[in-house]
Amino acid sequence: MADITEDKPVVVIGGGPAGLTAGYLLAKRDKPVVVLEASDQVGGLARTE
């Protein structure tokens, strides 16, 4: 993962598995992170019926 030295929030677009993992890993590194999801539930294509 690239070094993020500023304390500005990182915006992750998409609440699928990759977006949630990115948000989790950033949060573990004490980076401010916001995950945006268009749907009212997370999961991305894993939720496809």
Looking at residue 40, its amino acid is D
| CA–CA–CA angle 10, 4, 26 (5° rounding) | 55
pTM of the model: 0.79
At 10 the three-state DSSP class reads: strand
Instruction: For 1-49, write each residue's pLDDT tens digit.
Output: 667 677 788 999 999 999 999 999 999 999 999 999 999 888 888 877 7
Average pLDDT, the chain: 89
